[in-house]
Amino acid sequence: MSRPEPPVAAPVAVTAPTPVIASAAEVADPQRPVAQRTPLSRKRVDTVISRSVAWFGIVFGLQAVPALLGQYSLGQPVWAAVTVGVMFGSLVVALLCSTLKRWVVGSHRLVSFVYVAALLTWPFFLADPEVPQQGDHWLYQLTTVATATAAIGFRVRGALAYLVIVPLIYGIIRATPQGGGGPWELGLFNAIYAIILGGAVLVIVTMTRVAATSVDEAQGAAFDRYARAVRQHATEVERVHVDSIVHDSVLTTLISAARAESPEQKALAAQMASNAMRHLREAALVSPDDGTTVRFRQLADRIVTAARQMPVPFTVRVRSLDTRVIPSAQAEALYSAAVQAMMNSAQHAGSAEVRRWLKVSGVHGGAVEIEVGDAGSGFDPVAVPDERLGVRRSIVERTANAGGHAEVRAAPGRGTVVVLSWPVFAAGGADDAIDEEEPA
């Protein structure tokens, strides 16, 4: 059915219809609330395990105190004071870091390294090598603590090697004159006993991590399928929205321009064309809000993949993104802005030898920060003409429309750094949970 043609003499007010976005669950049952995702993640499991191991170390450390007091005089005073202080201090540091969820991996590695250093130096710092040592050394009671912290601080292969090698070192030292001159059967028994206890801890830690990862991946796959269904619905609604803008605004403008004869009619047609272009630009900058979310890790993976496909190399660093989520529309806007920033760097910063980097970080408060930078030629942001829309519209405005903030720091000859953050947040540090760096 044909539409009546509007009169040319009067301006046509075009109001874009507001799309009503409904999720798939709401379409099926409008009264049913949509469940929010609470992922069971490796990071949460690691937090529980690391705290348990840290308390486990404190308890076993206290149990070693009686033996420590009885054998304290067997070692040289300086060595004994330093070893006891550093050993028990590292256990306290591991407990504090596990409680605060900062530097967890590093603090448990510290305990493992300190124990090995104390174990290897023990035979060389005896107060009187001629005095035989009776019973097991107090360090033996901390062997299981060291192997448990190694299960937190190292990957499975490294923890397994630590589990076998370190108790065997104690067994060998125990059989030497400096270690008490015990029978080799006793040293072997002690080593095997420590390996069994440490192996049980390593198996529990590894199996729990694998189970948590499998549950999180299965839950993520289910939510991804749900998100795709909802996104298809939202995309269809958005298409209807854009079609209505094109039909009501652009088509009307073309008809009016075709009939314009007088200068007033031509000016009116030009104004209508400007309004139509503005509507199209706004529609292009806004993604449909379908209520779905994606993980920061998924967003980071997409951006890292785009960086690896750039014609010039980027150094990639990803930190602390396990449990955080972001709405799909905002994730798409951040992805597009980050890709635009990398393309600008590839095209204008200089040759492939210029240092370029990409950092994606989770920040305290549930925020994400994306930094794209280079040490290239740079530019003066104030001197960029208004008709150059690459940085302003594709990066700054796109990020702002998504509820985030974009900061461009550049100077001629000093490179360019683009920092995208969502949502707007105060400056803060990133969690020390995951730190990966590799060339793209």
Instruction: Write out pLDDT tens, residues 380-429.
Output: 877 776 555 567 677 888 888 888 888 889 888 889 999 998 886 544 44
CA torsion angle for 276, 277, 281, 284 (degrees, to 10)?
70
pLDDT at 147 over 70: yes
pLDDT at 286 over 70: no
Segment 27-38 shows an average pLDDT of: 42
Q: What are the tokens at 342?
A: 């990398």
User: Cα dist. 189→158, 164, 319 in Å?
Assistant: 23, 13, 43
Predicted pLDDT at 389: 56
pLDDT at 5 over 60: no
Predicted pLDDT at 162: 94
Angle in degrees, CA 380, 385, 387, rounded to 5: 140
Predicted pLDDT at 84: 93
**Quick check: 129 and 180 in contact, CB under 8 A?**
no
Decide the pairing of beta strands 405-410 and 315-319. Answer: unpaired
What is the chain's length? Answer: 440
Cα separation, 167 vs 140, in Å, equals 8
Q: Where are the beta strands (DSSP E) in 332-374?
A: 356-363, 367-374
DSSP conformation class of 362: E
**Quick check: 400 and 420 in contact, CB under 8 A?**
no
Cα separation, 317 vs 91, in Å, equals 30
Segment 91-112 shows an average pLDDT of: 93
Element (H, E) at 316: strand 315-319
More reliable by pLDDT, 219 or 112:
112
pLDDT at 329 over 70: yes
**Residue whose entry in the numeric block shows the structure tokens 């043609």:** 5
Predicted pLDDT at 120: 92
Q: What are the tokens at 424?
A: 């707007």
Segment 157-172 shows an average pLDDT of: 92
| Phi, psi of 338, deg, nearest 5 | -65, -40
Predicted pLDDT at 437: 44
**Quick check: 104 and 46 in contact, CB under 8 A?**
yes
Predicted pLDDT at 285: 52
**Quick check: 390 and 344 in contact, CB under 8 A?**
yes
Q: What are the tokens at 438?
A: 């590799």
User: Which amino acid would we find at residue 132?
Assistant: P
Please, what is the average pLDDT of the chain? 77
**Quick check: 413 and 349 in contact, CB under 8 A?**
no
Instruction: Render pLDDT for 130-143 as a digit per residue (tens, 0 to 9).
Output: 766 667 888 888 99
Angle in degrees, CA 50, 56, 58, rounded to 5: 110
Predicted pLDDT at 1: 41
Full-prediction pTM beyond 0.85?
Answer: no
The torsion region of residue 133 among left (phi > 0), alpha (psi -120 to 50) and beta comes to: beta
Segment 324-349 shows an average pLDDT of: 86
**Residue whose entry in the numeric block shows the structure tokens 């530019």:** 379
pLDDT at 54 over 90: yes
Segments in 64-183 forming alpha helices (H): 65-71, 77-100, 104-121, 143-153, 156-175
More reliable by pLDDT, 38 or 377:
377
Q: What are the tokens at 119?
A: 């174990």
pLDDT at 18 over 80: no
**Quick check: 291 and 21 in contact, CB under 8 A?**
yes
Taking the CA atoms of 228, 232, 233 and 239 in sequence, report the sign of the dihedral they define: positive
How many Å is the Cα radius of gyration of the chain? 32
pLDDT at 283 over 60: no
pLDDT at 96 over 80: yes
Cα separation, 64 vs 69, in Å, equals 9
> Which superfamily does CATH assign the domain made up of 293-439 to?
Histidine kinase-like ATPase, C-terminal domain (3.30.565.10)
pLDDT at 80 over 60: yes
Instruction: Render pLDDT for 208-267 as a digit per residue (tens, 0 to 9).
Output: 888 888 887 777 777 777 767 776 666 666 666 666 655 566 666 777 777 777 887 777
pLDDT at 111 over 50: yes
Taking the CA atoms of 245, 247, 253 and 254 in sequence, report the sign of the dihedral they define: positive
Decide the pairing of beta strands 356-363 and 315-319. Answer: parallel
Specify the 3-state DSSP secondary structure of 437.
Answer: strand
**Residue whose entry in the numeric block shows the structure tokens 């806004």:** 286
Predicted pLDDT at 11: 40
Residue 435 — very low, low, confident or very high, per pLDDT cuts 50/70/90?
very low
Closest C-alpha to 174, from 123, 121, 112: 123
Taking the CA atoms of 297, 302, 308 and 314 in sequence, report the sign of the dihedral they define: negative
Segment 344-370 shows an average pLDDT of: 86
Residue 32 — very low, low, confident or very high, per pLDDT cuts 50/70/90?
very low
Predicted pLDDT at 394: 74
Cα separation, 326 vs 223, in Å, equals 13
Domain boundary assignment for the chain: 1-28+36-291, 293-439
